Amino acid sequence: MTNQTNQNERLVKILQASQEVQAEIDRVLEGRPPTPQPEQPSGPLLLGVSAAAKLMGCSRATIWRICRAGRLEKVELFPGSFRLRRADLLALAAGKGGRHE
């Protein structure tokens, strides 16, 4: 392929991009930094108490106290077995509450 063909294909892709993508392209062309994208959590969505304590950097007892205080909601998988939502733990760590709405 020629250089001209590559440029034409790039222009077509830019023109067909969504408004959000075009806005980001405009930001870059204006010399402004791109909008930071929220970091996607990695790992399991549901965590046991030990994994939750490790993620939060605290003890299992602290996780239990937070649950008893109603700041974290347990997800019961089956009677006697439950997990905690990673999103709730991260929200609690960020100071945004923690309970899943």
Using the 8-state DSSP alphabet, how is residue 78 labeled? E
Q: Which residue has the tokens 């405009």?
A: 26
Q: Is 63 helix (H, G, I), strand (E, B) or coil?
A: helix
Residue 79, Ramachandran bin (φ over 0: left; ψ between -120 and 50: alpha; else beta): beta
Per-residue pLDDT of the chain (101 residues; tens, 9 = 90+): 577 788 889 888 888 989 988 888 888 889 988 778 777 667 889 999 999 999 999 999 999 999 999 999 999 999 989 999 999 999 998 887 655 44
Predicted TM-score (pTM) above 0.85: no
What does the alpha-carbon distance between residue 85 and residue 101 come to, in Å, rounded to a whole number?
12
